Amino acid sequence: MDDQQTPQLETVTATANAINIPASAANAPSQNSLTARSAQSIVGEKFIEDYISPNADFSQVLQMTPGVFSYSPNGPGLGDTKTYFRGFQDGDYTIAFDGIPFQDTNSPTHHSWAFFPSQFLGGAVVDRSPGTAATVGPTNFGGSINLLSRNFDPQPHNSVSASYGTWNTTLVNGELQTGAFGPGGSSNLIVNAHAMNSDGYQTFNDQQRQGISVKYQFAVSENTTLTAFGSRIDLQANTPNTKGPTRAQVAQYGDNYLLSGDPSQPNYYGYNAYHVTSDFEYLGLVSNLGNGWKLDDKLYTYYYHNKQFYNGSTISKTSATDKLNAYRTNGNILRLTQESSFGTFRTGLWSEWPNTYRYQIPSDPRTHIDAALPNFRESYNTKTSQPFAEYEFNVTSDLHITPGIKYSSYEQRFTQYADNGKTVGSLGGAPFIKHTADYDTWLPSLDVHYFLDRHWSVYAQYATGDEIPPTNVFDVKNANVTVQPKPVKNKTFQVGTVWQSERLSVSADAYDIKFDNAYSSFTDNDGNTTWYSNGKSVAKGVEAEANLILGWGFSVYANATLSSMKYDDGPSQGQWVANAPDNTETLGINYEDGPWNIGGYAKRVGRLYNDNGATHEAVKIDPFVITNLFINYTIDHSPIWPRPMKVQLGFNNLFNQHSIVGVNPGSTKTSVAAPGDVLSILAERSVSLAVKADF
């Protein structure tokens, strides 16, 4: 059994050969699977290698899939980018690596510049639903994304690459692929290391990143395989806490203004710094136990250490903030399956134990001398348990019905220390206060999958997901929470179809999602705080994607979504949820012939709205388009280099659009454009030239 099989998404495996991607979809940015039991899209390794920026992070890998969009105002791969997914924001869906969920511990969000740059990735599977009962994760509320590690090459294959681009962006990368070695070819090894430096598009927003990943596989026997993976990222940046300019600054200095070179100004670049380190390791065991039973177990650990320093809008002894967010997460995912003529039984348990330490302390930006009391200081741990079971009944060889159930349980244990009053206060003279929070939810699922013929399948799905409250529930005066919130829930109904041939690949789906809104709180005159979910919303839409081989080396790809995500009760009923576009489209054309491989892809994001505090639809964001073009030429051999060499010329934001893609209003008193509004603006066109040589 290939270790690249995606255990989180049972119907899909990682490699193009394993998932039988037809020729009609081989060069597409997103593909589909005839065996998928929900709305899924697969990004292959070839797209990552040929059609994204050399310095890209995982957000760029997902950018062109249906309903997904992201942007980095400092340039691709040069910032902490957030990805929007069917209208859901980061923190409303799970991201995993080789089936292992990873996320922040204070809220289940993610940082694209940590953990997994594109150099570490061999593909991704995007499931636009909470998945089945066997899909584990902390927030399968809106869906899940499973990033996949690099595929092993059976033959030795080593390479070195270098790129240079706009904003003095450089990247050097080396990879060692041993191919099968050892007794009977039982071992295989991949080592990848890179270093990236860039001035960035925004003024003084420099970025430096170094990373290494190692993946080793050993076939213990014909029935048992061990896989070990380890990676580390070290990132440093001058990025401030407020990651965009104001309207007034843009009018005076231009779109790319962010930081100043003048130490007398509050936004001096020397007063802002990130140093983020992360590592991720797992040991996986896959074994055929006999009588149809198979075991898949992954023991894992990952670490995130974000040491940040940033200044506010003035310069004083307490205008800056000395910040730490650090956690070590340990966990295990055990999966057992049993196949028989009646069907497939799947069961298992996801367990996780993170430990976190966080603080924010007022500081002097000029001297880095901290104040005596912090804004907050806390430590906590969370125990997660998700046992699950489902049975895929083989009603006929073509009709499969899969009911399932999952129990989602979280136990949180907090220690909050006395602070300066901005979070919990003096705690009545006590040095700290302890409290607990437990959350649990039953999550059923049911899906039906039917092959109409060998080229055409249909499915229907009912799935449920949940999302636990963030840890700041207890960030109230004296941590006096009298009523804790409950997990918010999601119910997804969708139907879809997939059709594939050698020349054409098509999929389409329609969905209806009923979900709880984010949390709100109320504090009475006695200081007692009650938390509750803030009403309900409904999302509806249709999605489609297709890839067609035209001939003569040309193929064309397209996807489109038409959607609505609106509040369904209370005074906001009928208003749009923030950052949910009413439509998205992707159009791409690819040419491959001999040494040439050329691909151009454009993503259009329709109208959406940003909020202003509790005011919805406060700011309208007009549609915007991101267009990328990559030209690859491979030289099999030459007088100066006997092994294959690839040259790539890349263009991000080809048509140099400077669209405003996000607005954070400067005041809750007005929704009219104001000088203090903070803007997110597309980075200008960037060009990169990369050379990759095998040896």
DSSP one-letter string for 520-588? EEEE-TTS-EEEEE--EEEEEEEEEEEEEEEETTEEEEEEEEEEEEEE-SGGGTTPBPTT--SEEEEEE
Question: d(Cα 27, Cα 597) in Å, to the nearest integer?
Answer: 10
Tally the domains of the chain.
1
Judged by DSSP in three states, 421 sits in: coil
513: which residues sit within 8 A by CB, 6+ positions away?
142, 490, 491, 492, 493, 538, 539, 540
In a domain, 8, yes or no: no
In a domain, 74, yes or no: yes
Which phi and psi angles does 661 have, rounded to 5°?
Answer: -110, -5
User: Are the beta carbons of 496 and 448 closer than 8 angstroms?
Assistant: no
Which phi and psi angles does 7 have, rounded to 5°?
Answer: -70, -25
User: Are the beta carbons of 78 and 206 closer than 8 angstroms?
Assistant: no
Which phi and psi angles does 479 have, rounded to 5°?
Answer: 55, 35
**Strand bridging mode 376-394 / 343-363:** antiparallel
Question: d(Cα 27, Cα 47) in Å, to the nearest integer?
Answer: 6
Q: Which domain holds residue 363?
A: 23-694
Chunked in runs of 10, what are the mean pLDDT values of the chain (695 residues)?
A: 36 36 64 92 92 93 93 94 91 95 94 94 93 94 94 92 97 96 94 97 97 97 97 97 95 96 97 97 97 97 98 97 98 98 97 97 98 95 96 97 97 93 87 91 97 96 92 81 86 96 93 88 69 83 95 94 93 92 96 94 96 90 97 88 91 97 87 89 97 92
Type of residue at 628: N
Measured from the Cβ of residue 504, the count of other Cβ atoms closer than 10 Å reads 16
User: Are the beta carbons of 662 and 677 closer than 8 angstroms?
Assistant: no
In a domain, 11, yes or no: no
Q: Residue 26: what pLDDT?
A: 59
In a domain, 325, yes or no: yes
In a domain, 75, yes or no: yes
In a domain, 17, yes or no: no
Q: Residue 5: what pLDDT?
A: 37
Question: d(Cα 477, Cα 525) in Å, to the nearest integer?
Answer: 12
Instruction: Report DSSP state, residue 150.
Output: P
Q: Residue 533: what pLDDT?
A: 66
In a domain, 3, yes or no: no
Judged by DSSP in three states, 153 sits in: coil
In a domain, 168, yes or no: yes
Structure tokens belonging to residue 641: 């280099």
CATH number of the domain bearing residue 658: 2.40.170.20
